[in-house]
Structure 1
Amino acid sequence: MQACGLIVEYNPFHNGHAFHIEASRKASGADCLIAVMSGSFLQRGEPAIIDKFHRTKAALSAGADIVLELPYVYAVQSSDLFARGSVQTLHEIGVSNICFGSESGDISRFTNSYDVLQQKQSVYQTTLQEKLHLGLSFPEASRYAYQKIGLAASEMDLTKPNNILGFSYVKAILDDKLPIDPLTITRIKNAYHDQAITGSIASATSIRKELIGKEDISETAASALPEVTIQQLRAYKQQAAVWHSWENYFQLIHYRVMTMSEDELAAIHGVDEGLENRIKKTARDTTSFYEWIKKIKTKRYTWTRLQRVFAHILTNTTKDDVQQFVSDETVPYVRLLGMTKTGQSYLNARKKDMDVPLISTLAGTESLLLSIEEKASHAYYSIIPPKKRQAFYHQELQPPIMI
């Protein structure tokens, strides 16, 4: 069986994701579609609106054959590390292709851009470092560096968020010389950061904005969601009484910061250049997560970077925790969240050829990476009432979901 990989977050799974699944199957001709999905916390540092198990059920019901979990230490990272963890996970499970959505929609532009970057690496790095020293954030400094080597033109604009992620996927494949053919489809009808729902295909950002703080799913949000996602959103809300957002965690994260020393804060992954002082100082007179981020944010400290830092503070993820994994050549395991009958057939044929363990539960497995995953899960469910919290965490110890 031939498999095609998808790198996803499904926060939540929407009509655009359903289109991506259908188009990826058609473009790759694959028998099995395998999604590697961020777990409790996402690439931009946000808590997932509903947990990974309910998102897995929606994805499997909507056309994915296997859903794998991207470990926390790769999921809550910059695009390059996020891409490397995702691509290596899909490589270990044996995919022939990875198909991603992009503003470009032309894979040759990505591979040609990789060649340009390889040829002009010294110019790129020099420009990048110059801009970083001027106090620019990494994404902004990268934008200038890409412009300098000619990779911000309309035909391959690496200032666009999906192009940036797609380029990171292609770079991870080509850097490690993996036997994977990248494919891309054009992202349609909406932009990554669109704030408003204007049709049946809308950005996840606009859908979350329409959902958070509401008692139920509005007609506007429902118009951009498949029925399976509506069912899972409602099921989760009924059980947990919440759709997760950072404001739910404000009191917990504020308590953590107020009771940590500056040295303890400085040891947290992502807290660099004296950021611990700024976090402590602004904590004294802030009353909401949104207000807190606004007080800390600068050109260097972007909203996304700060959200990641707060995720690492909440989960107590240190620089030492992360460093030993981000330099590894591959992932230490592949975690299965769920599968269909097709996915089960694929795994039965593939797992004997895997070089790393295939696991499906946190129970009975000793691993530092899994202990970090366990902390992330406890942190994620911490805002749910204790009796229900225990039941939600118990999902981590159960067999994979079968659809």
Structure 2
Amino acid sequence: MKVAGVITEYNPFHNGHKYQLEQIKRQTSADYIVVIMSGDFVQRGEPAIIDKYERTRMALLSGADLVLELPSVFATASAEFFAGGGVSVLKNTGVADMLCYGVESVDHELTKLVAGVLKNPPAEYSASLARLIQGGMSFPAARSRALCEYFQDNYDISLEKLDAFIASPNNILAIEYEKALMDCDITGFPIQRVGEGYHSTDSTSEFSSATAVRGVISTLIDIDKHNTITNMQLDNSWIFTKFSQLMPSDCADILADCILGGHIVFPDDISEMLYYRLLTWKDKGFAQYSDCTKELSAKIVKNIYKYESFTQFCNLLKSKNLTYTRISRVLTHILLGIENDDFNICMDNPYLRILGFKKSSGDLMHLLKKRASAPIITKVADAPYELISKDIFAADLYGRLCHSQQNEFTHGVVII
């Protein structure tokens, strides 16, 4: 039996994701695909547009065989810890032979070469990185420049090629995956991406990005009126037709139901919850929360009465050396109560939370039960609360945002 793994968000699932799953089966001859998927909050530091169970359903209907939840501590982390946490979950299943990931251009040797430098940083690279950060660069920009400087001095690689390679968000994740895979016997397998780029807002392409799909959804929703439909004449058929061009038909059906049911969540929907949290902790500061420095904590406190909304506050706080994404991630960590030590705690106390599986994946499920090196959770009520308390809290908050009538204790595993 050959099993491939994928670490992903599916926010939401679209044609590009369907293409990737098809290519995995075709190029690797995998019998099963295990998906490690972010829960209700994602790596950019914001809530997912629809809940994890509907996204699980989309994945299972489109080629995945088993979906496990990537714990919120990992799902909302920077690329390094997102990848490291995802690889850890996949490794603990004991069933995966390879990790497949999308890249803008397949250059496996270069990916592994850069990963090796980041895994064991040479003194020359570390000195350049420190100098650039001290000069006011953000960490992502400084790391990219330091890598270019190091490889220009030590390898016969085109600077333009390396700069373009490192600039891609998907390639950055690919590098982090390969770095994490150095500690286990799972093999990395790059898959060439097709269609629009990660940040593209073009919704006319067959392979539009998740960013573009979310943009189309936002045109149908009146956010200022508590996420009501802007045009009450819209029905399931019209919405289905609109989105079936951007995603598999089964997924378009699910998304249409979510839109009409008022279950769509946008970043600013967390604004009031977050402001309450910020006011509660402003006297103590926020440096204990993951990714938050003492300097950023002081900046948050200083500007707290200028707060209008989540996205407005992110834009207010961002600067030359603090990216919007870094700030949104920190604010989400504050909202979810994710602190500096939680990553290591989660790594030291692993678990496998099953969100859904196909009935036809019986052999895979049997192998998982036999080989898993971490507790398998199918019913939250049966799991040690302290083990998954962060995920339960995140889901409870999200349930209020998407007007769900269920919670983690009443929602069962998705079975297709």
Please provide the CA RMSD for this pair. 2.2
1:402 paired residue number: 415
Q: How does 1:189-228 map to 2 (within 5 A)?
A: 189-214=195-220, 215=229, 217=239, 221-228=243-250
SS of equivalent to 1:147? helix
Q: Residue 240 of structure 2 contacts residue 256 of structure 2 at CA under 8 Å; is this kept in 1? A: no
| 1:373 to 2:386 alignment | no
Per the TM alignment, residue 397 of structure 1 is displaced from its structure 2 partner at its CA by: 4.2
| 1:354 to 2:354 alignment | no
SS of equivalent to 2:137? coil
1:88 paired residue number: 88
Q: How does 1:173-192 map to 2 (within 5 A)?
A: 173-174=181-182, 176=183, 178-192=184-198
Could you give the per-residue CA deviations for residues 92-143 of structure 1, whole angstroms, max 9, x where no partner exists?
2221011111012232332233455568622222222222222322211111
Per the TM alignment, residue 310 of structure 1 is displaced from its structure 2 partner at its CA by: 1.6
1:127 paired residue number: 128
TM-score (norm 1): 0.91
Runs of at least 5 residues in structure 2 that lack an aligned partner in the other structure: 152-156, 221-228
Runs of at least 5 residues in structure 1 that lack an aligned partner in the other structure: none
What percent of counterpart residues are identical?
32
2:139 paired residue number: 138
Larger deviation, residues 13-22 vs 316-325: 316-325
Per the TM alignment, residue 343 of structure 1 is displaced from its structure 2 partner at its CA by: 2.6
Could you give the per-residue CA deviations for residues 338-367 of structure 1, whole angstroms, max 9, x where no partner exists?
111233321112322222111123212115
1:62 paired residue number: 62
Q: In structure 2, do the counterparts of structure 1 residues 350 and 292 end up closer, same or farther at CA, with 3 Å as the change threshold?
A: closer
SS of equivalent to 1:37? strand
Q: In structure 2, do the counterparts of structure 1 residues 368 and 142 end up closer, same or farther at CA, with 3 Å as the change threshold?
A: farther
> Could you tell me how far apart the structure 1 residues matched to 2:78 and 2:295 are?
20
1:337 paired residue number: 355
Q: Residue 27 of structure 1 contacts residue 183 of structure 1 at CA under 8 Å; is this kept in 2? A: no
SS of equivalent to 2:37? strand
Which amino acid counterpart does residue 362 of structure 2 have in structure 1?
Q
2:170 paired residue number: 162
1:77 paired residue number: 77
Could you give the per-residue CA deviations for residues 218-258 of structure 1, whole angstroms, max 9, x where no partner exists?
8654421111221221222344x141111111122122212
| 1:35 to 2:56 alignment | no
1:230 paired residue number: 252
Larger deviation, residues 289-298 vs 34-43: 289-298
> Could you tell me how far apart the structure 2 residues matched to 1:222 and 1:398 are?
27
Q: Residue 137 of structure 1 contacts residue 299 of structure 1 at CA under 8 Å; is this kept in 2? A: yes
Q: Residue 285 of structure 2 contacts residue 301 of structure 2 at CA under 8 Å; is this kept in 1? A: no
1:324 paired residue number: 345
Aligned residues: 392
Q: Residue 379 of structure 2 contacts residue 412 of structure 2 at CA under 8 Å; is this kept in 1? A: yes
2:223 paired residue number: none
| 1:286 to 2:307 alignment | yes
> Could you tell me how far apart the structure 1 residues matched to 2:249 and 2:47 are?
23
Which amino acid counterpart does residue 401 of structure 1 have in structure 2?
V
Q: Residue 269 of structure 1 contacts residue 319 of structure 1 at CA under 8 Å; is this kept in 2? A: yes
SS of equivalent to 1:101? strand
> Could you tell me how far apart the structure 2 residues matched to 1:120 and 1:293 are?
31
> Could you tell me how far apart the structure 2 residues matched to 1:34 and 1:189 are?
24
> Could you tell me how far apart the structure 2 residues matched to 1:285 and 1:119 are?
42
1:8 paired residue number: 8
Q: Residue 314 of structure 1 contacts residue 379 of structure 1 at CA under 8 Å; is this kept in 2? A: no
